[in-house]
Structure formats: C-alpha cells, structure tokens
Amino acid sequence: MFSFLKRMRGAKRPHCTALVAAAGASSRMEGVNKLLEPLDGIPVLARTLTALQLAEQVDEIIVAAREEDLVEISRLCHTYGIAKCAKVVRGGESRTHSVLLAALEASPETALLAVQDGARPLVTPELVDRVVAAAARCSAAAPAVPVKDTVKTVRQDGAVEQTLARETLRAVQTPQVFEASLLKAALQAALESGIPVTDDCTAVERLGKAVFLVDGEETNLKITTPTDLVLAAAILQAGEGAR
C-alpha cells in the first residue's frame, strides 16, 4: 500500500498544449474579424485565451492566426496576461491545416493536444479541465450537449429524406482533446485524403478511433454571426446580474 501511494504522489499529469484555431476568415461577420470584436468590452479571442490561461490542466497555448493578425494577436496576449501563450503561428489553407501547423509547434513533452475554437469566448476553465482529464484516461474526448431541435436530413430538392432520433444526437463543442501523436496522424491523413472534416473529432474518427463525449455547457457557443455576439453579451450580463 505504501509503495502504491508513493507512486501516486510521484505521478505527473500529462503535459497539455492548447491549440487555438484563430485563422478563419469570419466570412459571416459582415466584414469584421470576429475574434477581435469586443464582447462586453473585451475581445472575443482574449476571453477564449483567458479561459485556457486559467485552466489548471493546460500548460501551454499556441495560436494559429492569419498572417495579417499575427502582430495584433501577439499584442493581445501581452495586454491580457496570457503568459501560457508560447507562440502565435501563421495558419494554413484550412482549419485542419492550421491546427496541424500549430500542433507541430507544441513542446516536445506534450502528451495531450487540446484544440479550441478561438471564437468560443464563453468556454470555462472548469470545462477545459474536465475534458483534458477525460482525454488523459481515454486518449480522445470532447464536450457535447443534447440537441434540442428536431433534425432532418433533406434531399437536394429540399424534400425531407429522414427525421433523426433526437435522443441520440449531440452537438459537439471545443476543446476537443487528444493524445498528441493520434491527433497529428489524424490531421495529416485528413489533409492527404483531401476530404474536408468539420472538426478534429471527425479526423480522429476516420482513423477508426473512438472519441468519448463529456457533458458540455449550453453557454459554450461559437461566434459565427453578429447575432451570436449579441447572444453572448446577453449571457455574460445575465451571469453578472446573478452574482
């Protein structure tokens, strides 16, 4: 028993690097960079990075950004005290390429890679830590919430093809966390295949690996349109009012 407890005390949690996808074009934001837009007075990306900074399970942050935003995002990290940010690197031609480029810049001791959308500013440190801990146990984990709406598949002519069973559906969020070599292999395979993947879980699933879901947070929304910014601001103000 004594030797077991000694091993437990000596065990170190796996080193985790967070990869922040921040190289998108913000095509549905009416000409503005959503990551640099103020959300209750603080840039969207700064809120996302602050959550990663405060997460106990995250050791390092690498941001993949558009070339024209590299200086501005580096300055933002300094302004908001994102001390864990080791590098801001140029993104690639797609989200998958950007995440892979960031992954290749992670510290050699990195065991887990946590991929976070830069445009999810309401993610909490507690959620990040929960998903990282799950991935440490099972190699691949992501947060998800039940789908509330009825979801249908449709034909090209707009006619309903099938109504899906809502109780089996989940909306997946980020961070999505994986064993480091698994994620890099999955992203490389996805790029070589030329098949677009909508998230990193999909890339890993294409290798035949299981991804385990943990409870996400309803407020962990992704900023895609100006309406999402309004909704996120309302969530923040409601939370401040509750306190």
Q: How far apart are the first and last CA of the chain?
A: 45
Q: If you search the block for the tokens 């093809």, which residue do you land on?
A: 161
CATH architecture of 13-149+164-242: Alpha-Beta Complex (3.90)
> Looking at residue 242, what is its pLDDT?
55
Place of tokens 């992501």: 142
pLDDT value at position 90? 97
Q: What is the pLDDT of residue 8?
A: 38
Cβ–Cβ contacts within 10 Å for residue 236, how many?
18
CB contact at 8 A, 63 and 102: yes
Beta pairing partners, 112: 16, 179
Structure confidence at residue 1 (pLDDT): 43
pLDDT at 4: 37
Q: Report the sign of the C-alpha dihedral through residues 222, 227, 231, 236, in that order.
A: positive
pLDDT at site 215: 97
Structure tokens at 227: 């309406």
pLDDT score of 10:
44
CA–CA gap between residue 161 and residue 165 (Å, rounded):
13
- Mapped onto helix, strand or coil, the DSSP state of residue 201 is helix
Per-residue pLDDT of the chain (243 residues; tens, 9 = 90+): 444 344 434 458 999 999 999 998 766 665 678 999 999 999 999 999 999 999 999 999 999 999 999 999 999 999 999 999 999 999 999 999 999 999 999 999 999 999 999 999 999 999 999 999 999 999 999 999 999 999 999 999 999 999 999 999 999 999 999 999 999 999 999 999 998 898 999 999 999 999 999 999 999 999 999 999 999 999 999 876 555
- CA–CA separation, 55 and 150 (whole Å): 34
pLDDT for res 31:
63
Query: Three-class SS of residue 236?
Result: helix
Crossing angle between the packed helical segments 180-193 and 95-103, to the nearest 10 degrees: 140
pTM, whole model, 2 decimals? Answer: 0.91
Cα–Cα distance measured from residue 174 to residue 221, given in angstroms and rounded to the nearest whole number: 9
Burial classification of residue 93, based on how many CB atoms lie within 10 Å of its CB (0-12 exposed, 13-18 middle, 19 or more buried): exposed
